[in-house]
Amino acid sequence: MSLFKARDWWSTVLGEKEEFDQGCLCLADIDNTGNGQDKIIVGSFMGYLRIFNPHPVKTGDGTQAEDLLLEVHLRDPILQVEVGKFVSGTEMLHLAVLHSRKLCVYSISGTLGNVEHGNQYQIKLMYEHNLQRTACNMTYGSFGGVKGRDLICIQSMDGMLMVFEQESYAFGRFLPGSLLPGPLAYSSRTDSFITVSSCRQVESYKYQVLAFATDADKRQETEQQKLGSGKRLVVDWTLNIGEQALDICIVSFNQSASSVFVLGERNFFCLKDNGQIRFMKKLDCSPSCFLPYCSVSEGTTNTLIGNHNNMLHIYQDVTLKWATQLPHIPVAVRVGCLHDLKGVIVTLSDDGHLQCSYLGTDPSLFQAPKVESRELHYDELDTELKELQKIIKDVNKSQGIWPITEREDDLKVSAMVSPNFDSVSQATDVEVGTDLVPSVTVKVTLQNRLALQKAKLSVYVQPPLVLTCDQFTFEFMGIPRVIQCKFRLPLKLICLPGQPSKTASHKLTIDTNKSPVSLLSLFPGFANQSEDDQVNVMGFHFLGGSRVTLLASKTSQRYRIQSEQFEDLWLITNELIIRLQEYFEKQGIKDFACSFSGSMPLQEYFELIDHHFELRINGEKLEELLSERAVQFRAIQRRLLTRFKDKTPAPLQHLDILLDGTYKQVIALADAVEENQDNLFQSFTKLRSATQLVILLIGLWQKLSPDQVAILEAAFLPLQQDTQELGWEETVDAAISHLLKTCLSKSSKEQALNLSSQLNIPKDTSRLKKHITLLCDRLAKGGRLCLSTDAAAPQTMVMPGGCTTIPESDLEERSIEQDSAELFTNHKHLIVETPMPVSPLQGVSE
């Protein structure tokens, strides 16, 4: 809480859900009373024009009914409001309102009221100009030194300056090289317009040069202009400030000197009339608006600067004199005389908070209450502490990986997958090869028990599945909590019925403890019921070309899955086990189980790891080469630029040929990097599928509980996306090393956890493959996965963000290699079976 606050004198909120900007606020004696009292004029993007004359009974009062002099809806958005002598034949003040396609000048007058309703104010349209181009902003002044009247200059969105001499249109000129419009101001002392171009430089144009330059309607050179009858628009002076400007303001000390103030994104500048920098100040916070005004000290200028931290800073030249806290972020600030109170600061926020305030302090009157002393009973405190420690210990013993929710959640999420595909596919790529890509609609339902303010729904699917929209925001709901809901998509979304294959490079056989189930019952819609052979064999065709065959034995209780690609086995194997479990649950059979006793397919798994790691290394080399070529390209550009700027040009010495060759190399390397990233993405998707299969087989092989399988998944699948900075190999190696040093450790020496500050990409995958083999070996010897502190193998440290890999002794490595030769040989015939003793595989239908 800041001690220096803007003391609220009067405030109000304008409309509902209206928007405002820096040109929407103006202070002036618009009704021409002549008493020096300003009125507050506000226009909004919704088209509402309001005029206020605050009369608070006491400081800090809100708006009263009589404070609002006038409110009218002009229909078109109001970009800027200004007050000046805009009507010919009179020096009375009138209101100029700038719309996007129209400029209107109004007269504001008041009628003295004879009843309690007070004075009556009317608005009268004096004239208007329909604009041929979309307006951005405007400025006004006595252009050309005219007396007793003000002219208006409007800047369009395409960089055209349109000058209006009150009721008539004078001329229009395009600013040279204009791309985006910037702030615009008029300097009466030099009779010039000052703006900041999209080149981030301050530019000054003389009014006389604008008046005699080529007309904007004739942008192409004509024969007369070539003969000298027309003049080009030439800039008077420029100054490169290196950043985009938010606003420009001209302040005159006297008739002999004036200053140009420019508010940038990070600095504000004070310039002389000729464009030289008088001073500049680097700002600590991002500014939102500013207002320079003359200081009481001779030769200095005060500046109000509002920023996005709800602060208003007052500078005297470059010295910070005061800082005050505001209740909102100001987009416009003005200083005026209201109700005989001089120097009132008026601020306006983008959502319509209008406040009149003055500077002051707000001391805190809070005093800390006295703490009542009481006697401490140490015996009771000791007993209470022991009870709390017991409760904490019991919770740690009984708690699983995920917290258990005992009460009803404030927000529930449920998902329902449509049983039918969309009639018109919503897929971005409608075809993959010769296959049509289908799409399915998922209905997500949110149920809230309490009134929530805002909720954000994120949907994630594993590649290669994609979503049409993955982020949803509900404005009427959200609290800082996360609720998850998982759902299964139909298999037909990525898989079609295919022709079974009798031969395959990779085979997986599972055995159940129940009679075989017809594949038609498990996978309805994936086989032709007219053929008897289809009952025991079924083919699956993945989108993209891969094929998987599923066979059921007629005589035994076994199923076989086979494919040419190792990673393609996981989806059908996992789907088969899930559908078998669901089938027997519907039959009321609860003792259905599966297990795996064959050799772990680590060799095939390691081949996918090596391929993925090779693509990562290749990506690093390509990016390094691309960086070198980019540095070389920029160096050649600098050399060429130096040659071109030289007044006595020297020979290029084949630099142009070298530039062209380097450019082609940069393009070729960029294409190679993009192609390698695509291959890496596909490789990571295959690696994830293979990892899921290995986790499934380990779980069936060692009869792991769901909590233990979750630990394996957290260790082997820690990343949703693979990047060059943090890759799959080093992350998984750190996680497995942690498991080997904690719950799977063999001695207390292994429990001394070595920490590393960060994870780096390894030189090769030999250590990772060794640790995976060691993990399987220790699970085979009775090791169990556990995160509890009361595990059989003592744990002394929670898993860190990164840990060094476990160093193994030569003796242990030799024993592991011997065991691995026996347990994990390169078999492409895999067996998954139940705990029941079974005979060798016989009679499996091919």
User: What are 280's two structure tokens?
Assistant: 């500049």
pLDDT above 90 for 41 = yes
pLDDT digits (tens, 9 = 90+) for 255-291: 667 899 999 999 999 999 899 999 999 999 999 999 9
- Lowest model confidence (mean pLDDT) among 155-164, 207-216, 547-556: 207-216
Average pLDDT, the chain: 82
Strand locations in 489-617 (E): 495-498, 506-511, 537-542, 547-552, 558-563
Q: Residue 391 in 3-state DSSP? A: helix
Crossing angle for the helix pair 728-741 and 602-645, nearest 10 degrees?
140
Contact 69, 51 (CB under 8 A): yes
Q: CB 371: neighbour CB atoms within 10 A?
A: 6
How confident is the model over 788-795, as a mean pLDDT? 45
User: What are 577's two structure tokens?
Assistant: 């086990």
Q: How far apart are CA 164 and CA 167, in angstroms?
A: 7
Contact 455, 478 (CB under 8 A): yes
Q: Which of 287, 290, 286 is nearest to 334 (CA)?
A: 290
pLDDT digits (tens, 9 = 90+) for 368-414: 666 666 677 888 889 999 999 988 888 776 655 444 444 456 678 88
Q: Which residues contact 609 (CB under 8 A, 6 or more apart)?
A: 687, 729, 765, 768, 769
Residue that wins the pLDDT comparison between 545 and 285 = 285
Q: Which of 515, 529, 530 is nearest to 580 (CA)?
A: 515
Neighbouring-strand partners of residue 82: 96
How high is the pLDDT of residue 117?
Answer: 58
How confident is the model over 42-60, as a mean pLDDT? 88
In the chain, count of helices (H) and strands (E)? 11, 41
pLDDT digits (tens, 9 = 90+) for 130-172: 999 999 999 999 999 899 899 999 999 999 999 999 999 999 9
pTM score > 0.75 for this model?
A: no
Longest CA–CA span in the chain (Å) reads 113
Q: CB 456: neighbour CB atoms within 10 A?
A: 11
Q: Are strands 442-448 and 411-417 parallel, antiparallel or unpaired?
A: antiparallel
Q: Are strands 829-832 and 506-511 parallel, antiparallel or unpaired?
A: parallel
User: What are 233's two structure tokens?
Assistant: 């628009």
How confident is the model over 49-77, as a mean pLDDT? 85
Q: What percent of the chain has pLDDT over 90?
A: 44
Q: What percent of the chain has pLDDT over 70?
A: 81
Note the Cα 175 to chain centre separation in Å: 36
pLDDT above 80 for 227 = no
Q: Which residues contact 465 (CB under 8 A, 6 or more apart)?
A: 489, 493, 494
Contact 698, 719 (CB under 8 A): no
Phi, psi of 562 (to 5 degrees): -140, 150
pLDDT above 80 for 523 = yes
Question: Which pLDDT band holds residue 531 (cuts at 50, 70, 90)?
Answer: low
How high is the pLDDT of residue 255?
Answer: 65
Q: Which of 742, 729, 798 is nearest to 770 (CA)?
A: 729
pLDDT above 90 for 367 = no
Q: Residue 154 in 3-state DSSP? A: strand
For residue 293, what is the enclosing H or E element? strand 287-294
How high is the pLDDT of residue 838?
Answer: 33
User: What are 555's two structure tokens?
Assistant: 């005589």
- Lowest model confidence (mean pLDDT) among 417-426, 570-579, 659-668, 718-727: 718-727
Q: Which of 155, 147, 58 is nearest to 100 (CA)?
A: 155
pLDDT above 90 for 345 = yes
pLDDT above 80 for 592 = yes
User: What are 775's two structure tokens?
Assistant: 């993990």
| Structure-token match 């052979």, residue found | 533
pLDDT above 90 for 217 = no
